[in-house]
């Protein structure tokens, strides 16, 4: 399940699943996009599934992190390359090592509380 919003830096970013796709300004199609002005990530759920969907979500989250943490690439293609590399790498890392997510969450009290809440929801206890 994809969350409806994420906290990234000082902001809440809304995640919109776009069953009709995501369009570029020139009319072309995108898998996903981060829109800084609306603090929104849009993901094309019509043509993406499974790992592609996870990869694209991580890719757009990285763009949002660049924006909110003040990193601006001098060249747009450089940011795109880094987001692609990290998006795919992190999506695969977490897919192949789910215990890493559990470990990262359990390292802080707030993370442990969120982990317990997520596990309760998954098991139907909430």
Residue 61 lies in a domain: yes
pLDDT in tens, 53-106: 889 999 999 999 988 887 765 666 788 888 988 988 898 888 888 888 777 777
- 93 is written with which tokens? 């890392």
Whether the model pTM is above 0.85: no
Structural domain boundaries enclosing 15: 5-97
Residue 66: which CATH number?
1.10.10
pLDDT of residue 13: 95
Question: Per 3-state DSSP, what percentage of the chain is helix, strand, and coil (rounded to 5)?
Answer: 50, 20, 30
Q: Is residue 118 part of a domain?
A: no
Structural domains counted in the chain: 1
Q: How many beta carbons lie within 10 A of that of residue 61, not counting itself? A: 22
- Over the stretch 13-44, which tens digit does the pLDDT of each residue have? 999 998 788 877 777 788 899 999 999 999 99
């Amino acid at each position: 399940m994809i969350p409806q919003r994420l906290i990234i830096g000082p902001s809440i970013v809304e995640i919109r699943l776009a069953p009709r796709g995501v369009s570029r300004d020139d009319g072309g199609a995108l898998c996903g996009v981060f829109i800084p002005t609306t603090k929104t990530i849009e993901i094309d759920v019509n043509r993406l599934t499974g790992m592609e969907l996870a990869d694209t979500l991580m890719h757009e989250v990285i763009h949002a992190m660049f924006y909110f943490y003040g990193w601006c690439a001098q060249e747009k293609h450089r940011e795109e390359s880094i987001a692609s590399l990290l998006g795919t790498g992190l999506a695969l890392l977490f897919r192949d090592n789910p215990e890493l997510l559990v470990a990262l969450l359990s390292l802080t009290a707030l993370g442990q509380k969120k982990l317990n809440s997520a596990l309760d929801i998954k098991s139907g206890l909430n």
